[in-house]
Amino acid sequence: MSGGEQKPERYYVGVDVGTGSVRAALVDQSGVLLAFADQPIKKWEPQFNHHEQSSEDIWAACCVVTKKVVQGIDLNQIRGLGFDATCSLVVLDKQFHPLPVNQEGDSHRNVIMWLDHRAVSQVNRINETKHSVLQYVGGVMSVEMQAPKLLWLKENLRETCWDKAGHFFDLPFLSWKATGVTARSLCSLVCKWTYSAEKGWDDSFWKMIGLEDFVADNYSKIGNQVLPPGASLGNGLTPEAARDLGLLPGIAVAASLIDAHAGGLGVIGADVRGHGLVCEGQPVTSRLAVICGTSSCHMGISKDPIFVPGVWGPYFSAMVPGFWLNEGGQSVTGKLIDHMVQGHAAFPELQVKATARCQSIYAYLNSHLDLIKKAQPVGFLTVDLHVWPDFHGNRSPLADLTLKGMVTGLKLSQDLDDLAILYLATVQAIALGTRFIIEAMEAAGHSISTLFLCGGLSKNPLFVQMHADITGMPVVLSQEVESVLVGAAILGACASGDFASVQEAMAKMSKVGKVVFPRLQDKKYYDKKYQVFLKLVEHQKEYLAIMNDD
């Protein structure tokens, strides 16, 4: 090749299915986002704690956004496609048609969402077994995992759903839709279905919990062919899927990741040289990826398995090949902030004032806090207002879905100042919860020095600064704020063969954008806030014990 010639640019498409929307991005070999599109998806809540979606609606949204991001691009330059998604449960019959997951018999609603808590009775019975597989989910299985949801379907929708089912996927079923290959991703099976990367399925567990049906058919309904994330599936994109997505047939399609894990992949391997970070001279295991959107997920990796009570894992090769993964989490953190702000009496006034300034409500609240803090640090405004954030139960490290949210220090006033301070206290509570998880992980053997944040909440500077101040650790933000989509694109890049490994793709496609350091002069204040935070849950447990005492 002559010196004047250049290799044609190579592109990858990443598709991310979140709780409320599908997003796609066109990403180049260096991890730069060249195009972005999003599309809302439908959600149903037929009754309290029942949350449902439609796999057909989700696939249609994937097609819309993918076509948008490849407009004007030479399709021959698109080398790979990667999907990530929330780990919701998708039910199809033997002919791959949707089946209802609801009492109404509406087969269009064939997805039980990850945040659905209908299977409380079932998960309690599963945890009572004390089966050995539970040690890989922090000792206690979450109601958000797949086994309790499957048991609920068998016990409640036997005729309309269970007996007709041919395939139970999670939402990364999109790789099957794209290729026709039913192989499952190691990531989701290990993290949400109790599969072991080393031993496979444990027959005794499924028999013990009353789902021996899967053992009898050699796990064909839930997956007996398993591939690592980033592995190329079949012959790539089928002609039908290519037409739907606006791509060329045969493009490499990768085995998928759960959305939080894609975010971890998109940030945790970044080159940090020249940013003054202690983790520069430390192994990648010193980094904690925090993916913060509708919920927050805390992804830490280790060379050897570490068992952390109340924290999911260890899962082998579930995110970064060759490393064990522990996953802490806080349910519905983004939704909690919305709930607290939108439910306040001053919310209509906030909307009017934010609109008048052409700001988001959160940008306005951040500026309002700066206005009312006067000479003190903004975090000190909550000296007498404290929030316990588990309005949807505690995922980590207490693993107690019966816990409720708490607010102490309320006054009779309900003006905009009160709303702003309540918002601040809620953000601080989420950061305090992150500190709680980190301390549990470090007590078990992790050594964490730096946080790598991504997701929608990482775009909020107050959220980021509070995480730095309260944990006492620097926070790294990616050059590309849509790190989850970069993670999905990394999968496609690996499937294409353009990179020799996931680690190589991570190193070349993940880049540091900004570093936020903790304000160490405020450490004493946040240590006190943390002591109060821990007291809140102690008191809640005490009064629950009193009320439940016969």
pLDDT digit string (tens) for 29-72? 999 999 999 999 999 999 999 999 999 999 999 999 999 999 99
In this prediction the pTM is 0.92
Nearest CA-CA partner of 313 in 220, 396, 204: 396
| pLDDT, tens digit, 9 for 90 and up, residues 237-265 | 999 999 999 999 999 999 999 999 999 99
Mean pLDDT of 89-104: 98
Mean pLDDT of 405-415: 95
pLDDT bucket at 2, cuts 50 / 70 / 90: very low
The two tokens of residue 470 are 């309260």
Residue 318 burial (10 A CB sphere; 0-12, 13-18, 19+): buried
464 residue type, one letter: V
Give the span between the Cα atoms of 59 and 41, in whole angstroms.
Answer: 10
Which pLDDT belongs to residue 481?
86
| pLDDT, tens digit, 9 for 90 and up, residues 463-502 | 999 999 999 999 999 998 899 999 999 999 999 999 999 9
Q: Are the beta carbons of 361 and 352 closer than 8 angstroms?
A: no
CA distances from 346 to 355, 417, 514 (A): 14, 9, 34
Which pLDDT belongs to residue 401?
87
**CA angle, corner 333, sides to 269 and 409, nearest 5?**
130
pLDDT bucket at 4, cuts 50 / 70 / 90: very low
Please give the DSSP secondary-structure letter assigned to residue 224.
S
SS3 496: helix
Dihedrals phi, psi of 14, to nearest 5 degrees = -110, 135
Instruction: Kindly provide the residue ranges of all beta strands, DSSP E only, lying in 135-206, ordered along the sequence.
Output: 165-170, 184-185
The two tokens of residue 468 are 């730095």
Nearest CA-CA partner of 505 in 524, 517, 488: 488
Q: Are the beta carbons of 238 and 230 closer than 8 angstroms?
A: no
Query: How does the average pLDDT of the chain come out, rounded?
Result: 95
59 residue type, one letter: W
> pLDDT > 70: what percent of the chain?
99
Mean pLDDT of 375-397: 96
Q: Are the beta carbons of 26 and 33 closer than 8 angstroms?
A: yes
Element holding 433 (H helix, E strand): helix 416-444
Which pLDDT belongs to residue 61?
98
The two tokens of residue 127 are 């945890």
Q: Are the beta carbons of 432 and 533 closer than 8 angstroms?
A: yes
Element holding 292 (H helix, E strand): strand 287-292
Dihedrals phi, psi of 433, to nearest 5 degrees = -65, -40
Mean pLDDT of 123-141: 96
Which pLDDT belongs to residue 424?
98
Give the span between the Cα atoms of 40 and 17, in whole angstroms.
Answer: 10
> pLDDT > 90: what percent of the chain?
94
Helices (DSSP H) in 213-343: which residue ranges?
Answer: 213-216, 239-245, 259-267, 333-342
Q: Which positions ≥6 away from 159 have C-beta within 8 Å? A: none
Which pLDDT belongs to residue 3?
47
Q: Are the beta carbons of 404 and 390 closer than 8 angstroms?
A: yes
Which pLDDT belongs to residue 6?
58
Mean pLDDT of 103-128: 97
534 residue type, one letter: L
CA distances from 157 to 99, 110, 295 (A): 10, 12, 29
Mean pLDDT of 211-228: 95
Q: Is the pLDDT of residue 303 over 60?
A: yes
DSSP codes of every residue in 69-110: HTTTS-GGGEEEEEEEE---EEEEETTS-B---STT--TT--
Q: Is the pLDDT of residue 1 over 50?
A: no
Parallel, antiparallel or unpaired: strands 257-258 and 78-85 = parallel
pLDDT bucket at 386, cuts 50 / 70 / 90: very high
Give the span between the Cα atoms of 235 and 41, in whole angstroms.
Answer: 29
pLDDT bucket at 199, cuts 50 / 70 / 90: very high
The two tokens of residue 214 are 């899967």
Give the span between the Cα atoms of 5 and 1, in whole angstroms.
Answer: 7
Which pLDDT belongs to residue 172?
74
